[in-house]
Structures are given as C-alpha cells and as structure tokens.
Structure 1
Amino acid sequence: MTKDRIYKVIFQNQDKIYEVFARSVGQSDLWGFVEIESFIFGERSQMLVDPAEEKLKAEFGEVKRSYIPMHSIIRIDEVQKEGVAKMRDSKGSVMAFPGMPFPGKSD
C-alpha cells in the first residue's frame, strides 16, 4: 500500500513568508532550485474563508510545478495531513543567507 506523502514547505519570497502544502517536493534539474508539485489547499465548501489562503490559492492554484530558489527555503516537513496555507510578513525574523559576490564585479 502506497501512502500519499504530504509536505509542508516554508519559504521566503520578498518580504513575505509562505507556508504551503504539496504532494511532491524534490531537487530540481535546474541547479539551485527546489521543485514543488501538486499544491494542496483547503476545501472551498468551508464556511470560514481565510484571506491569506485565498490569496495563495489565486497565486498557486493553477500552477503545475513551482521552482523555489534553494536559499529561500526555510524548512520542509513531511506531515500527516495538510493544514491551512499561510502568508505572513517576515517582520525581520528571517534573513537571507549571505551570498557570494558575482565574479567580475568590482566595488
């Protein structure tokens, strides 16, 4: 019996922290990217509507596969069941990993 895996992926995009759920997460063929497939969102039949989740549904609802830069990933967890997708301000609590300067660029 094959168990459907569910992953919670937390990543930073500009000044926001995204928390999304997906069925497939893995290393991408594109160097330096994590590939996320089959996003999971709550049922539309619920009485309560979360504006943050609706915004994420609008952004990722029709996306088949997304490539997130590896340095933007904060955490990836395999979970028992999906939760509510969230988007929140980073509030300075998360900093980008310092990168190397590009070759040939002089200060």
Structure 2
Amino acid sequence: MAKTLYKVTFLNTGKVYELYARHVASGALWGFVEVGELVFDLHDGVVIDPTEERLRDEFGNTRTLHLPMQSIVRVEEVERKGQSVIRDAATGEKVVTPFPLPAKPR
C-alpha cells in the first residue's frame, strides 16, 4: 500500500508555496501544523526545474516544518505528485528567476 501524499499550500514572505509531503499533522506546538517527509523530484536528466531546485535548496535538509496555522492556505490529499511551485501572493503568477539578473548601473 502506498503512503498517503499531501499537497500543502502555505504563505511565506509574500509568496504562496506548494510543497508535497508524506506527513501532515497538528503539531505538539500549539497553533502550528507539522509537515514532514517532504517529497522532491529526483532529476537524472538534463532538464531541471529551477523552482523545484530552489525549493530543494531551501527545504532539502528539513525533517519537519512547523508552519503557523494562519499561514496554511490548503492541505490536499492527492494521488500523485505534481509540480512544486512558488507563486506571488498578490498576482498568483509563478515566481521563477532562472538566472541572476544584472544590476542596473547607477
């Protein structure tokens, strides 16, 4: 039997994050939700999703996220993993910066 998979959508610094995890529960810390066993795509090929890579860099070594209840937008139980994304909270557009942008000369 396959383990349950959750899609967790939450607010973080003006952005909406969508991550996938195997464990979601009300935490021992009052007012927080525990999100653990984060699931990331393992890319063996040439094509790499910059958003997935950014999320893996930020949360790759995290055992458990303790998210404030107020930041949780939605928790969904899903059949399979989709694409993890970061969106702008105001516009809903994906936030992707594949390459560093050069600074404007002053």
Q: TM-score range by the shorter chain?
A: 0.7 to 0.9
Contact kept, 8 Å, 1:41 with 1:84, in 2: the verdict is no
SS at match of 2:61: coil
Matching residue of 2:81? 82
Matching residue of 1:12? 11
Q: What amino acid maps onto 1:23 in structure 2?
A: R
TM-score (norm 1): 0.80
TM-score (norm 2): 0.81
Using the alignment, how far apart are the partners of 1:84 and 1:62 within structure 2? 19
Q: What amino acid maps onto 1:15 in structure 2?
A: G
Q: What amino acid maps onto 2:41 in structure 1?
A: G
Structure 2 residues without counterparts, runs of 5 or longer: 93-106
Q: Between the two proteins, what is the percent identity of the paired residues?
A: 39
Using the alignment, how far apart are the partners of 1:60 and 1:38 within structure 2? 11
Q: What amino acid maps onto 1:7 in structure 2?
A: Y
Structure 1 stretches (4+) deviating beyond 6 angstroms? none
Q: What are the Cα deviations for residues 8-63 of structure 1, in whole angstroms up to 9, with x where unaligned?
A: 00000011100000000000010000000000011121432111111100011010
Count, aligned residues: 92
Aligned CA RMSD, in angstroms, stands at 1.3
Q: What are the Cα deviations for residues 55-104 of structure 1, in whole angstroms up to 9, with x where unaligned?
A: 100011010011000000000000001111111111266xxxxxxxxxxx
Using the alignment, how far apart are the partners of 1:41 and 1:62 within structure 2? 11
